[in-house]
Structure 1
Amino acid sequence: MRIAVSTPNGNVGRHVTRMLVQSGVRPVLLMRHPEHLSDELRDYVDVAAADSWHPDEVIAATRGVDAVYWVDPTPFSADPLGDYARATEAIVGAVRENGLSRVVFQSSVGAEKRGGAGEIDGLASTEAALDELAASSERDLDVCHLRCGYFFSNLALGLAALRAGDLETVLPLDQGMPWVAPRDIAEVVALTLLSTAWSGRRVQAVHGPENLSWAHVASLLTSELGHDVTVRRVEDDVMRQRYLEAGLPPALGEALLGMSTGLRDDFTPEQKRSLVSTTPTTLRSWVRDELIPLL
């Protein structure tokens, strides 16, 4: 089976690539900047220049491919949902034009709402488009949506705030939610790509080892970082202003804010925590192995 990997340098994709190589697969890496390929991978992978927002490039890069691990790139523009629409067009076009038979799509907890969850709505649109394609008579397609929890690696986006010990959220401090290590997601991706035990449409939650609240996270960070770390709950308008002060386009700020507010009130994940959705890496071990070296 010929497997393509999008965003191979991402938090999850870099692990997926190595896992596939270690399993004996020679993956095709879809890279916006092929020159950024690490030297250690050159003898084990093929590289195709492709921007995941450009359907023609993705279609050309996936000719001869059977399966793909697909990630909608993180938008940075003034039209974030438009960016998701372009990424959706790219993967749908690749399936249609090249006869891809399997897609493992990195989605998110909250995509099941199909609206009202900010940036996650873009992932929901990709899910829906792939489902429609799989249900049609024109293509024999197996598709698995991985509904992932909150990435541990999101903490690394605010290193200055962590050093200062001052974090903010719009969520209730005692509200638990799934948190997960990117490497654990990658393991599920690789196993799902390679498994012959499933077909059709599948939804797989990736919930990490336990639900965590921001109060619990602050306590853990305090004990591991060696200084007090507090998390304050702020009003939505305060967080909205933070995004604007950081220079984000208003629509992108709203999309980011909506990921939290959309899952804050009266939301229960469609997939309950189970043996299937629970992955092993704890936040404490991730902080020790990956966050502290960055600080």
Structure 2
Amino acid sequence: MIVITAPTGNIGHQVVDTVLAAGEPVRVIARDPARLRADVRERVEVVQGSHGDGQVVAQAFDGADAVFWLLPSDPRAADANEAFLGFTRPAAEAMRGLGVKRVVDVSALGRGTPQAGAAGHVTASLAMDDLIASTGVAFRALAASGFMENVLRQVQTIKERGRFFDVISPDRELRLVATRDIAAVAARLLLDATWTGQEEIPLLGPENLSYNDIAAVISEVLGTSVRYERIPARALADRLTARGMSGAMVQSMLDMMAAKENGLDDAIVRTPRHATDTPTTFRQWCEEVLKPAVHASGRQP
């Protein structure tokens, strides 16, 4: 039995589809089972509730061979560490007590760097990995770089203003990975019952791109000029606060972005294996995901 958390999310639903296609029995934890596609609901066992609830995870993990652990976003949390660790503690207890054999989670790059101790969300994510590892399960932490899908948050400004915004320097090279590639690696590990031990697997994407490079690719794919504009950290904080994010989580986000600016993601040197694991280029992603999203939101910029 393979248990998948966050099965309706951007990564989780892709993991579900791949594991089901392989013919393995799947159990999912879902707050709202109605959000599952009808064809998925017919083929999985559903445990309703939050995977931060001890009773829910105890029910879901009973008899589980493998678990895919994906933390939900909690923008209103009072503390970033507690958002990650507090939510995961009941699951860690269930993993230990119920003899779960293998766990795969989605985490972040940065372990071992000078920036990792004060990197907001990333620092908390690495602490979550340590908590899961402490249970003694066979464990793979998928240390992902920035998601290409984050660009989708700015589809409207790209469409209407021909711009997108962030606090990172325009020439600062970044690693970007498509969620489809994260899901593919996760599903491969969940379906493989032979691995043991504990390991971090960096997911870097096939190339480094600055925001200026990203703007150039978007412009070419959309056939119109799109440029990147760097904004002050305070402006980002104001935007996040206006969307309802708590002060603690805003600061955690700013700390993470500052750490990335200062080299948080740079410690891992890309190898051919990294490109094989995460082959989707940003241009391919723009053609297949961003461009349709822009069209769906109305006329092109």
TM-score (norm. length: structure 2): 0.90
Residue in structure 1 matched with residue 299 of structure 2 by the alignment: none
2: CA distance, partners of 1:12 / 1:258? 24
Residue in structure 2 matched with residue 115 of structure 1 by the alignment: 117
Residue segments in structure 2 that go unaligned for 5+ positions in a row: 295-301
Amino acid at match of 1:186: A
- Deviation sequence 1:151-209 (CA, Å, 0-9, x none): 11111112222212222221111111210111111110011122244311111111111
Amino acid at match of 1:235: P
The one of 230, 234, 248 equivalent to 1:251 is 248
Residue in structure 2 matched with residue 189 of structure 1 by the alignment: 186
SS at match of 2:260: coil
1: CA distance, partners of 2:86 / 2:171? 37
Residue in structure 1 matched with residue 212 of structure 2 by the alignment: 215
Count of residue correspondences? 288
- For 1:67-106, list aligned pairs within 5 A: 67-79=66-78, 80-106=80-106
Does the 8 Å contact 1:5/1:68 carry over to 2? Answer: yes
Structure 1's 75 and 215: CA in aligned 2 closer, same or farther, altered over 3 A? Answer: same
The one of 127, 130, 141 equivalent to 2:129 is 127
Residue in structure 1 matched with residue 298 of structure 2 by the alignment: none
2: CA distance, partners of 1:56 / 1:111? 32
TM-score (norm. length: structure 1): 0.91
How far does residue 129 in structure 1 lie from its aligned partner after superposition? 0.8
Does the 8 Å contact 1:204/1:277 carry over to 2? Answer: no
Select between 230-239 and 202-211 the one with higher mean Cα deviation: 230-239
Structure 1's 43 and 112: CA in aligned 2 closer, same or farther, altered over 3 A? Answer: farther
- For 1:42-53, list aligned pairs within 5 A: 42-53=41-52
- Deviation sequence 1:133-152 (CA, Å, 0-9, x none): 22xxxxxx200110011111
Structure 1 ranges of 4+ moved more than 3 A: 111-114, 266-271
Residue in structure 2 matched with residue 154 of structure 1 by the alignment: 150
- Deviation sequence 1:98-136 (CA, Å, 0-9, x none): 1101000110112555521111222111111122222xx
1: CA distance, partners of 2:134 / 2:207? 33
Residue in structure 1 matched with residue 175 of structure 2 by the alignment: 178
Amino acid at match of 1:159: V
2: CA distance, partners of 1:269 / 1:104? 23
- Deviation sequence 1:32-66 (CA, Å, 0-9, x none): 11121211213321111131222222222221111
How far does residue 91 in structure 1 lie from its aligned partner after superposition? 2.2
Residue in structure 1 matched with residue 235 of structure 2 by the alignment: 238
- For 1:265-284, list aligned pairs within 5 A: 265-278=262-275, 279-284=278-283
1:17 aligns with 2:16: yes
2: CA distance, partners of 1:228 / 1:91? 47
**Percent identity over paired residues:** 27
Residue in structure 2 matched with residue 142 of structure 1 by the alignment: 138
Does the 8 Å contact 2:28/2:45 carry over to 1? Answer: yes
Amino acid at match of 1:48: V
2: CA distance, partners of 1:72 / 1:259? 17
1:64 aligns with 2:63: yes
Residue in structure 1 matched with residue 290 of structure 2 by the alignment: 291
